[in-house]
Amino acid sequence: MARLIFVVALVSGPPALGLLVREPEPSEEGFCSIPIETGALDALAPSTQVAANSTSFRPFFLKAHKVGGTTVMVALNAFVDQHPRCTQCCGQTVCQGQPLGCTGHKSLVVMAELLRHFEPRLQLESDPTEPQNLLPYEERHALLSSVTGKAEEYTSWIPSSPESEGRVLILTVLRDPRERLRSKYYFNREMKSCPPSHCAAKNMTFLEWMQMDKVAGLKSGRSLESCCEYTSMLGGSTEKAKNVLATFFDVVGITETMDEFLVTAARAMGKPPSQLPDPSSPEFTERDNSDNKEPWTEEERRAAEELVSDDLEVYQFAQDLSTRRILQMWDSQEKLEEAVQGYRRGDESSASALSFTLL
């Protein structure tokens, strides 16, 4: 059985003790500006020229940092017959034909522009996780199509006509923000491209690194990503963030239950689980950085909870929303568990058919 192998290098970093400046991040700009080799495009040409139809989907994956998003991104990229850089870069790079999705960090730019004109309203305010609160697709497609300004160069993947070109499947994944914060710190400590003189995490304990955010104030660029990226990327307040999740996203995943999200995303895209990453492959398990992390101390945990309190509220809402929406898609917990177990066993056929209706 054919499987995708996922290989991801952990490279990222921070400033020296006392230097309250934004920590450098790996740049997607340089990656997306590299032209795709002609041979790579030619090899994909036959499949990319297959006409889209009303049942096809183009993924829009809002990709936060340190949530396991690369696993999701690579899976979604493989679901569209196109060079993966086309979807990762949201069409910024040269593609064979029209780009067919947006799955990299440029999705954050698109979402930020969209939210300037979107004030979500719940139909059932008494029950925010109720599936009825999800806006009809036509309204969400109109919001995506209205994106302009600095984000417009990342929107060429949006179908002009859902009837003839397919529709957009809108997804995101959230992780426990306390663990995301800790992962960010240890990720930065491993960053080889940043010298210790400019990388704070290499000179600080985890507690000192978190306190640096408090000293700098919660308005610096680095702090926004560390303390409250969910709140920031979803509208700027906990209330708006929760309403955006409830009204705009087809599938909301939780990192801690990644397999459930992956089989649901595959099913929603009409793809078999055999196109998902093999959870037992060494390349997949090697991406786990847990062995490099020190155990939590009580003081660290208290500091982390204070720092990410807004994102924690959004995350806890997302957990409830994810559970309810995903179960609705599968009809029962038993069917979901069967699909997950089939994926873990490597079954070819489990969960391959799309048998639910997306709004």
DSSP-assigned letters across all residues of 293-321:
SPPPPHHHHHHHHHHTHHHHHHHHHHHHH
Res 255 pLDDT > 50: yes
How far apart CA 11 and CA 26 sit, in angstroms, is: 7
Question: E strands of 238-293, at which residues?
Answer: 251-254
Cβ atoms of 102 and 114 closer than 8 Å = no
pTM for the predicted model, two decimal places: 0.83
Res 309 pLDDT > 90: yes
Number of H helices, E strands in the chain: 16, 3
Q: Is 156 exposed, middle or buried (0-12, 13-18, 19+ CB in 10 A)?
A: middle
- Mean pLDDT (the chain) is 79
**Amino acid (one-letter) located at 317:** F
Question: pLDDT higher for 346 or 285?
Answer: 346
Pick from 172, 208, 198, 140: which is nearest to 60 by CA? 172
**pLDDT more than 70, % of the chain:** 75
Res 245 pLDDT > 60: yes
Question: pLDDT higher for 275 or 101?
Answer: 101
pLDDT digits (tens, 9 = 90+) for 6-54: 333 333 333 322 222 333 344 555 667 666 554 444 333 333 333 333 3
pLDDT of 31: 63
Res 58 pLDDT > 60: yes
How far apart CA 210 and CA 63 sit, in angstroms, is: 23
